[in-house]
């Protein structure tokens, strides 16, 4: 069997060791005579899976006391509604920082449930950069400030955690578990699983306990963080298979050295990609080139479309995106990959 190099943003690649273990346990999980998909979510077998996943995620992220971990349905987009319903009243105000497609969607949904104040918006630059935090128009009475640390469609990434007075809410769908994180800086972190954690359909929410129990009376019970927490994320039947795979990914991450090791590997991959771009014959401006081998060294040539002038990793904003990209190791059978590198319109910026 020949596996492709999958650069898709999500559903994204899952570690082969995890897939192989799931395959081996598919029809008979640890001798119980049933697949995980057939286990009762309230039975001792699945309860052990759920408890192990919770403990391993807490260990990976070093989640401090005073936070609840929820395994929810609906992906991250359901949290666009759940956040305002749980953290604010209909007449309350919340701040939103808009830096791309996903934060725009979060803002649009937030406006349905409260007074959403746009603290900052990079629309005037085509969402190619992060507005200067010192110029953000935050509210003194905001119930929370919401932002998206990594916009996978536009390719803008925060390399800092905003300093704000209100509880900080972050959609970390594409960054969670890619590196160590100081969870204590946040009131609420949520993430869809399909990018770094496991199969699509699962969302994880890490909620500070003082923000629990504030849901409006009209909040659907399946979206109520307090109700879900009290039920162990099992008010209704959870996505058991996705939860199980996420737990296997957590175990694999710990076995591989944790998030410090993941950060080291991700930095190495980023340096490889940026190094190839720096060594390319591209000129400033939009350029579309022929098939070009960029990553990995043994992979097939990769078709690409790119534009120059992006911030490198470690700066305030990253401007790189792998989009719908996968290639086969043997070049003669390759499909294509696409690298999209949007251009921040800043004088003097280089890539």
Told to judge if 195 belongs to the known catalytic residues of this protein, a careful annotator would answer: yes
Instruction: Name the catalytic one among 95, 121, 171, 224.
Output: 171
Give the span between the Cα atoms of 283 and 287, in whole angstroms: 7
| CA 205 – CA 343 distance, rounded (Å) | 33
Residue 185 phi, psi (nearest 5): -80, -10
Contacts of 205 (CB under 8 A, 6+ apart): 69, 70, 72, 79, 82, 188, 189, 190, 225
Which helix (H) or strand (E) element contains residue 255? helix 240-255
Long-range contacts at 38-43 (CB < 8 A, ≥ 24 apart): 39/240, 41/234, 41/237, 41/238, 41/240, 42/234
Question: Degrees (nearest 5) of the Cα angle 80, 310, 121?
Answer: 35
Q: Which of 195, 241, 295, 304 is catalytic?
A: 195
171 counts as catalytic: yes
Of 29, 102, 295, 304, catalytic: 102
Q: Is 269 a catalytic residue?
A: no
Q: Are 175 and 198 in contact (CB under 8 A)?
A: no
Two tokens, residue 171: 């959609």
Residues belonging to the active site: 102, 171, 195
């Amino acid at each position: 069997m020949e596996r492709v190099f999958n650069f898709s943003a999500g559903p994204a690649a899952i570690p082969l060791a995890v897939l192989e273990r799931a395959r081996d346990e598919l029809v008979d999980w640890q001798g119980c005579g049933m697949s995980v998909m057939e286990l009762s979510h309230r039975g001792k077998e699945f309860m052990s899976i759920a408890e192990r996943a919770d403990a391993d995620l807490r260990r990976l992220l070093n989640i401090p006391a005073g936070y609840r971990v929820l395994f929810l349905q609906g992906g991250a987009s359901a949290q666009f509604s759940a956040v305002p319903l749980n953290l604010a009243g209909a007449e309350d105000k919340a701040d939103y920082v808009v830096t791309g497609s996903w934060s725009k969607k979060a803002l649009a949904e937030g406006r349905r449930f409260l007074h959403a104040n746009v603290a900052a918006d990079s629309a005037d630059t085509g969402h190619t950069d992060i507005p200067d935090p010192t110029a953000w128009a935050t509210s003194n009475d905001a119930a929370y400030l919401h932002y998206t640390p990594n916009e996978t469609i536009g390719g803008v990434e925060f390399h800092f955690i905003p300093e704000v007075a209100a509880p900080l809410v972050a959609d970390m769908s594409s960054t969670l578990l890619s590196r160590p994180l100081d969870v204590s800086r946040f009131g609420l972190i949520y993430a869809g699983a399909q990018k770094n954690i496991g199969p699509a359909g699962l969302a994880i929410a890490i909620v500070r306990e003082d923000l629990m129990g504030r849901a409006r009376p009209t909040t659907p019970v399946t979206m109520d963080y307090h109700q879900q927490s009290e039920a162990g994320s099992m008010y209704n039947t959870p996505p058991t298979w996705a939860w199980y795979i996420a737990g296997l990914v957590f175990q694999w991450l710990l076995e591989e050295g944790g998030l410090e090791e993941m950060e080291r590997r991700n930095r190495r991959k980023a340096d490889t990609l940026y190094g190839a771009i720096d060594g390319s014959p591209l000129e400033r401006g939009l350029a579309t080139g022929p098939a070009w081998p960029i990553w990995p060294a043994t992979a097939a040539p990769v078709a690409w479309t790119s534009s120059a002038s992006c911030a490198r990793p470690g700066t305030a904003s990253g401007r790189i995106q792998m989009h719908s990209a996968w290639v086969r190791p043997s070049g003669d059978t390759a499909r294509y990959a696409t690298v999209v590198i949007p251009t921040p319109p800043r004088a003097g910026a280089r890539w």
